[in-house]
Amino acid sequence: MIDLFKPVRMAMIGGGNGALIGPVHRIASQLDSRIALVAGAFSSKADQSRETGRQWGIADDRAYADWQSLLRAEAARPDGAELIAIVTPNDLHYPIAVAALEAGFHVMSDKPATTTLEEALRLQEAIARCDRRYGLTYTYSGYPLVRQAREMIAAGEIGTVRKVVVEYVQGWLSSAVEAEGSKQAQWRVDPARSGPGGCIGDIGVHAFHLAEFVTGSTVSRLLADLAAVVPGRVLDDDCTVLLKFDNGARGVIVASQISIGELNGLRLRVYGDKGSLDWRQEEPNRLTWHKDDGRTEILRTGTPPIGPSGAAATRIPGGHPEGYLEAFANIYRDFADSLREGVPSALVPGIEDGVRSLAFVEAAVTASRTASGWVSLEHQDVPA
Amino acid sequence: MIDLFKPVRMAMIGGGNGALIGPVHRIASQLDSRIALVAGAFSSKADQSRETGRQWGIADDRAYADWQSLLRAEAARPDGAELIAIVTPNDLHYPIAVAALEAGFHVMSDKPATTTLEEALRLQEAIARCDRRYGLTYTYSGYPLVRQAREMIAAGEIGTVRKVVVEYVQGWLSSAVEAEGSKQAQWRVDPARSGPGGCIGDIGVHAFHLAEFVTGSTVSRLLADLAAVVPGRVLDDDCTVLLKFDNGARGVIVASQISIGELNGLRLRVYGDKGSLDWRQEEPNRLTWHKDDGRTEILRTGTPPIGPSGAAATRIPGGHPEGYLEAFANIYRDFADSLREGVPSALVPGIEDGVRSLAFVEAAVTASRTASGWVSLEHQDVPA
Amino acid sequence: MIDLFKPVRMAMIGGGNGALIGPVHRIASQLDSRIALVAGAFSSKADQSRETGRQWGIADDRAYADWQSLLRAEAARPDGAELIAIVTPNDLHYPIAVAALEAGFHVMSDKPATTTLEEALRLQEAIARCDRRYGLTYTYSGYPLVRQAREMIAAGEIGTVRKVVVEYVQGWLSSAVEAEGSKQAQWRVDPARSGPGGCIGDIGVHAFHLAEFVTGSTVSRLLADLAAVVPGRVLDDDCTVLLKFDNGARGVIVASQISIGELNGLRLRVYGDKGSLDWRQEEPNRLTWHKDDGRTEILRTGTPPIGPSGAAATRIPGGHPEGYLEAFANIYRDFADSLREGVPSALVPGIEDGVRSLAFVEAAVTASRTASGWVSLEHQDVPA
Amino acid sequence: MIDLFKPVRMAMIGGGNGALIGPVHRIASQLDSRIALVAGAFSSKADQSRETGRQWGIADDRAYADWQSLLRAEAARPDGAELIAIVTPNDLHYPIAVAALEAGFHVMSDKPATTTLEEALRLQEAIARCDRRYGLTYTYSGYPLVRQAREMIAAGEIGTVRKVVVEYVQGWLSSAVEAEGSKQAQWRVDPARSGPGGCIGDIGVHAFHLAEFVTGSTVSRLLADLAAVVPGRVLDDDCTVLLKFDNGARGVIVASQISIGELNGLRLRVYGDKGSLDWRQEEPNRLTWHKDDGRTEILRTGTPPIGPSGAAATRIPGGHPEGYLEAFANIYRDFADSLREGVPSALVPGIEDGVRSLAFVEAAVTASRTASGWVSLEHQDVPA
């Protein structure tokens, strides 16, 4: 007899040392009791890894000092972790993911999948080869009303999509905070750690992912203008990208990290020939639906008009706001269900999303650098 | 050597059976790894209690079939629970709380503390006698910007408080859903289970609590108009209460459960002689601050203008919305810290709040029933 | 042959001297070319009256130094004014209105109709006796979406009205600005010029009028708590009034002029047993409509869902905001049409509204002063 | 002695026949009693011109059947019009403007100044040659808070401008309404009447104008993607334009007329290195100001923080919303003042704005058609 509710055992690599994203993964993964955190290599310093482990209820002997040890030891235990969450700096996502898959683990990786498109394609190949599941935390796809929008568009509620406007604006890099000690800023403005994209890779990809996720369409061409606005930067901190989708729709991405006063201003508008949808991450529990008869409806989480995918992503009654952590948790929950049920989830971003995002970043950076106008977003298969 | 991060061991009584509030307490209590759920009497049916326990990672032998057994067994274990969370129907809050305290446990109780003022006063006495800590989940006081508002008012930022307007409007009881199978409605409209107050006791008390919590002032008199609007009801489902505070300020509470379309429309406005504050639960991450020089500022969670108490209640950067569960978790976290540090927390509602809330409900019901005009909110000590 | 478009000839009494309300009446009355301003006694000083007249295109010989001369001279001219607009201080509204009616003019009066209920009843009698038309500028009833709300409620769109919440909050009297030279404040806080009501008479009546206008129901009883919050005041500057309507519905009016930061915060919410409506004067071109199936619609001026009365009150396409002056102009326009067509307009407030408003103020003041609880809003006919 | 308040005498050409824009010009021009409408050639049909004149209080002998007669007759009268308002279809703006100037009149023209850049340059030359004043109704620059934003940016309140995002989205052309009898649509989608630009010329220019007006900077280069989305159209109905300003700032214009549900969604955001501003036409009385210390202020019309140019553009107290007609009136009022005082107004758009707008449209159309990437917005002087 299978116990459907036996939680998936997870180990986390990275996430200690006061990083923000570690606790987010911890909270999100465990919010619904579908996943149990049983081990971790939270830091490359043994002491810190153990200290973080103690805070999170991990026995000392499962708080490892390096990820290689973790993979080896957990693979050997009968009650070892089944799933590895990768929460390290970006440049380690790729080697850890491949090693974990090869050691027989499923993987949930913080975004980006890898730092280059080539790596992403290799990772895609490794996932197929190892026959393991791989999830990628494109968080915003976990919001109930993002899923509602996706479901409505798939059902034809706004007709054929014609125009997509995604803005993702932040202001926290509007001055050279990297020179004032901000670690969050330092690695983001450093090409060695971030790869070729700055703002485009950090948040532009979220906008890009959301556009494809919600519309169900694929971007085929783009045109980009990337700028390093703050003096001294080499990576872009402000970008505009024009999109053409394979169905003929057009799109615009406005992404910026120098927009003073903006916090996490992700907004998605999709215009079809029968209606439109408008959603903002900072007020995530409302979705505006304009119809072609002139009527405007406000869809709110936890109310009867919300369809199955939005309703399933909500835990508490309407009017009790849920936010970012709950959206993040939805991705973990769906991934856990997918593992337990042995079927892929259409809602959990995977390596395909990772590959496309890296293709997007590389195309945008190249297009902008050469002022080449429209470029194709096609990509080759993994190099032999 | 004290391990500051060793989590508080908690057992939950009630909360299984598909109830909403059980999972809320579970998620909230464990969100910050300060509390570990180690045992439960989740249901009065042994099977269901065990089933819920399994979902939540509780060993079968600590998933009890009744709360008396739980208290007895956990008190006897060296690694037994230290804290009891009471998540049962309202009429059990009082006996369980007293029994738990007398068995040496600390208690976190869902609201209300008891169903009558007299019980609340007896409970207050029991807490003092047993020298244990007692918390009450007046959730809304856990929101970062509610605490910010409290801190600002205490610091004199809006001067002397003159007027408080609290509205708490819902629409889910606008028709006789209790006759259509809604369990949530059935106990709320039943005086045997809810006590003398309907809407006033269910949500009016939250408005009342918030008014006192944020202003730091005490309501001394009130005038109430309670109505049972939906035919067939005996308890109020719509109420207006006028308040006078001990410092001379006036207040209004508009509470309703028949306001179609309203979800959980709690809004607090406090007007002082130097400024005012305006906060809405459904958009909890913004606080509007009007100043007497004509300027209006929007304070947002996770930004520099937020003071210590608001900042401490936020987990993730500004623009990443936090909501109801996080507010709930703040109360648990502060209570856990209070237990570990052995000092009371000014931010965690306690039995005083429970007593005042029941005095409020009883005064409002009486005043409205007799159309007696203004009545005092003073109450006697516990009857001998 | 009747020229339907020949404008109504109007003379204005008062409104010069830099007063705010004179220009508002001038702009509003002429916005739609239905009314021509042909004469005025804009000030009691001949020079100032003439000066104002010149600015507004009035020949010197029709810019009178006193209102008695104006009535006499204009009544005698073949091309004389047909309509008198009364824009004087409140205590002159009554004598001028009666004199104008008796001289054969129609009258549009700024609110209030008179300063006492007794005068209002006498004026009502004079209007009937003289068989002239009388309009009263309860401005807010001129907003397109207020009329839309009225039309929807009359059509049963939200079912039977159960609850009405009207708030009208301002902050400009939050300190003793009357002592610092504010003329607008000085007459308002002076019982000799304002009558017995302060805030209740100045803005509370707008809230009251709106409640009755939109619901089509009549308030039968009220309970009031009026306060003079700012030290030194004798008239109320902050009030709460509970209402009971003749159909059994309940209501609350929260009116205040000491609510710092509030500008002209008039908001109306009406809850029925099938839906609800929510409108705010400061964003007047949106009306929120909640329905009992859980759907929420935003009705916007100038869009197809708007019905006849709302559409007729809009001049420009949706998305081009119209505001206070346009609402004011709607009342003038409808009054002009009513005069030209010889039929009364259901949309233009008249003496009945004036009488009820004064009954409301007097009842509220009396009830609050005596803390008498609920009082009837019935009133006697004019004393013999 | 000059009578400062003697109104400017104006004649209107066009605007009858139920057109929308005629009444808007009439209301706006006369709202402040600075301008008197004394004559018109409202329609090319004598009857209709006279009929419109009667509605607007114009004597029959000054309601002309054609604009040539009007110019001739009014120029000959001692009390003739001084100012000609041009409210005809776009292709007549140029010939009438030139003829009026040559006949000695000042001119206020509806936008666009002309239909081609070449004409605009010739008109610029004619204005200089005739030494008359010329105004252009770029309405949105008349809003109080647009002027406030301009003043703040000029004063350095947000530092050096880095990024400008202007969106102007409408939905009314989202289907082929031109085939269903919409006259408003028919001329807009017809290159013969609209010139080479569709959406870009109709509303894109407003966005462009606003960007330059508010920032005080000049666009030097642009890149455009214009699309005719609705089948059968030859002119663009949806466009995105990237901008580079002469000071190095970047910009984006998102303009669309196929965005279902959007009414008149003009929004302007300007990001500097010390702060940012955010304004929306549909809620025009609020301006959001983010500062680099993390604070966010809401500036509201009619409140103390508003500076001179915003305050002068407001007629009534804060909280009493003013809208589109009042903004339009501000342009007329400032133009009238400029005529009376004999000095140009920095706030009234003129032929330079007309020239730049046409250069913008032509550059955008060309750039998009040839997919040429970035193009210069420089333009030559008028051809010899």
The contacts of residue A364 (CB under 8 Å, 6+ apart) are: A197, A200, A204, A222, A224, A226, A239, A241
Is A264 in the B-facing interface, judged by CB distances under 8 Å?
yes
Q: Which of C365, C291, C330 is nearest to C140 (CA)?
A: C330
C130 and C177 in a single domain? The answer is no
Q: How many CB pairs under 8 A join B and C?
A: 114
The predicted-structure confidence for C263-296, as pLDDT tens digits, reads as follows 999 999 999 999 999 999 999 999 999 999 999 9
D124 and D150 in a single domain? The answer is no
Q: Which of A287, A290, A297, A301 to mutate to test the interface with C (most CBs of C within 10 A)?
A: A297
Residues of chain B contacting D296 with CB distance shorter than 8 Å: 297-300, 303
Residues of chain D contacting A258 with CB distance shorter than 8 Å: 162-163, 271
Domain-embedded: residue C132:
yes
- Is C317 a residue whose pLDDT tops 50? yes
State the pLDDT at residue C371.
Answer: 83
Cis peptide before D304 (omega within 30 of 0): no
A135 and A178 in a single domain? The answer is no
Answer yes or no: do B260 and C227 touch at CB < 8 A. no
**What is the average pLDDT score of chain B?**
94
Q: Which of D276, D286, D297 to mutate to test the interface with B (most CBs of B within 10 A)?
A: D297
A173 and A294 in a single domain? The answer is yes
Instruction: Out of C110, C139, C168, pick the residue that ends a domain.
Output: C139
Cis peptide before A112 (omega within 30 of 0): yes
State the pLDDT at residue D4.
Answer: 54
What backbone torsions phi and psi does residue A330 show, to the nearest 5 degrees?
Answer: -60, -35
Q: Which of A290, A316, A294 is nearest to A303 (CA)?
A: A316
Which residues numbered 282-321 in C keep a CB inside 8 Å of some CB on A?
Answer: 288, 293-300, 303-305
- Is C202 a residue whose pLDDT tops 80? yes
The residue written with tokens 């209402």 in the block is: C243
Pairing outcome for strands D35-41 and A161-169:
unpaired
The predicted-structure confidence for D39-98, as pLDDT tens digits, reads as follows 999 998 999 999 999 988 899 999 999 999 999 999 999 999 999 999 998 999 999 999
Helices and strands in chain B, H and E counts:
13, 14
Domain-embedded: residue C331:
no
The predicted-structure confidence for B163-217, as pLDDT tens digits, reads as follows 999 999 999 999 999 999 998 899 899 998 888 899 999 999 999 999 999 999 9
State the pLDDT at residue B298.
Answer: 98
Q: Which domain CATH number covers D77?
A: 3.40.50.720
The pLDDT > 70 percentage for chain B reads 97
pLDDT classification of C16: cutoffs 50, 70, 90: confident
Neighbouring C-beta atoms of residue A76, cutoff 10 Å: 9
Pairing outcome for strands D161-169 and C238-245:
unpaired
Instruction: Out of A114, A139, A164, pick the residue that ends a domain.
Output: A139
CA-to-CA distance for B144 and B265, rounded, in angstroms?
17
More confident residue, C314 or A17: C314
Residue D318 near residue D144, CB atoms below 8 Å: no
B96 and B239 in a single domain? The answer is no
Answer yes or no: do C298 and A298 touch at CB < 8 A. yes
B254 and B282 in a single domain? The answer is yes
Q: Which of C172, C268, A265, D157 is nearest to B290 (CA)?
A: C172
Answer yes or no: do C317 and D262 touch at CB < 8 A. no
CA-to-CA distance for B8 and B135, rounded, in angstroms?
14
Cis peptide before D321 (omega within 30 of 0): no
The predicted-structure confidence for C104-154, as pLDDT tens digits, reads as follows 999 999 999 999 999 999 999 999 999 999 999 999 999 999 999 999 999
pLDDT classification of C201: cutoffs 50, 70, 90: very high
- Is B143 a residue whose pLDDT tops 70? yes
pLDDT classification of D278: cutoffs 50, 70, 90: very high
B37 and B55 in a single domain? The answer is yes
Using DSSP's 3-state secondary structure scheme, residue C340 falls into: helix
State the pLDDT at residue D382.
Answer: 46
B216 and B301 in a single domain? The answer is yes
- Is D299 a residue whose pLDDT tops 80? yes
Q: Which of B360, B353, B357 is nearest to B222 (CA)?
A: B360
Q: How many domains does chain A have?
A: 2
One-letter amino acid of B71: L
A255 and A129 in a single domain? The answer is no
Pairing outcome for strands B106-109 and A238-245:
unpaired
Q: Which of D264, D224, D198 is nearest to D368 (CA)?
A: D224
State the pLDDT at residue D194.
Answer: 85
State the pLDDT at residue A55.
Answer: 87
Q: Which domain CATH number covers A214?
A: 3.30.360.10
A116 and A198 in a single domain? The answer is no
Range of the domain at B74: 8-139
D188 and D99 in a single domain? The answer is no
pLDDT classification of B382: cutoffs 50, 70, 90: very low
**What is the average pLDDT score of chain D?**
94
CA-to-CA distance for D259 and D255, rounded, in angstroms?
9
Domain-embedded: residue D188:
yes
Residue C358 near residue C122, CB atoms below 8 Å: no
User: Does this complex have an ipTM over 0.85?
Assistant: yes
Answer yes or no: do B293 and D304 touch at CB < 8 A. yes
Neighbours of D (≥3 Cβ pairs closer than 8 A)?
Answer: A, B, C
Answer yes or no: do D297 and B300 touch at CB < 8 A. no
State the pLDDT at residue A2.
Answer: 37
The predicted-structure confidence for D165-177, as pLDDT tens digits, reads as follows 999 999 999 999 9
- Is B245 a residue whose pLDDT tops 80? yes
The predicted-structure confidence for C331-344, as pLDDT tens digits, reads as follows 999 999 999 998 88
DSSP H helical segments within B40-167, as ranges?
Answer: 46-55, 67-76, 93-102, 117-130, 144-154
Residues of chain B contacting D300 with CB distance shorter than 8 Å: 296
The closest CB to that of C163, out of B250, B256, B269, belongs to B256
Neighbours of B (≥3 Cβ pairs closer than 8 A)?
Answer: A, C, D
Which tokens hold the place of D15?
């605007």
Domain-embedded: residue D376:
no
Domain-embedded: residue D183:
yes
Domain-embedded: residue B357:
yes
Domain-embedded: residue B343:
no
Percentages helix, strand, coil for chain B (3-state, rounded to 5) are 40, 25, 40
The closest CB to that of D163, out of A158, A259, A272, belongs to A259
CA-to-CA distance for B217 and D298, rounded, in angstroms?
29
DSSP state for residue D109 in the 8-state scheme: E
State the pLDDT at residue C337.
Answer: 95
Q: How many CB pairs under 8 A join C and D?
A: 108
Neighbours of A (≥3 Cβ pairs closer than 8 A)?
Answer: B, C, D
State the pLDDT at residue D2.
Answer: 37
Instruction: Out of B81, B116, B139, pick the residue that ends a domain.
Output: B139
CA-to-CA distance for C243 and C253, rounded, in angstroms?
8
Q: Which of B289, B301, B326 is nearest to B152 (CA)?
A: B289
Helices D144-154 + D205-215 axis angle, to 10:
40
The closest CB to that of D319, out of C264, C317, C320, belongs to C264
CA-to-CA distance for D170 and C207, rounded, in angstroms?
35
Q: Which of A356, A377, A380, A382 is nearest to A246 (CA)?
A: A377
Domain-embedded: residue D221:
yes
The predicted-structure confidence for B87-103, as pLDDT tens digits, reads as follows 998 999 999 999 999 99
- Mean predicted confidence (pLDDT) in D148-160: 98
- Element at D353 (helix H, strand E): helix D351-370
D226 and D272 in a single domain? The answer is yes
- How many CA atoms within 13 Å lie on the side-chain side of D69? 15
pLDDT classification of C5: cutoffs 50, 70, 90: low
Residues of chain A contacting C303 with CB distance shorter than 8 Å: 294-296
Averages of pLDDT over each 10 residues, chain A, 384 residues: 70 85 95 94 93 91 97 97 96 97 98 95 98 97 98 98 98 96 90 91 97 97 97 97 97 98 98 98 98 98 97 96 98 96 92 97 94 81 48
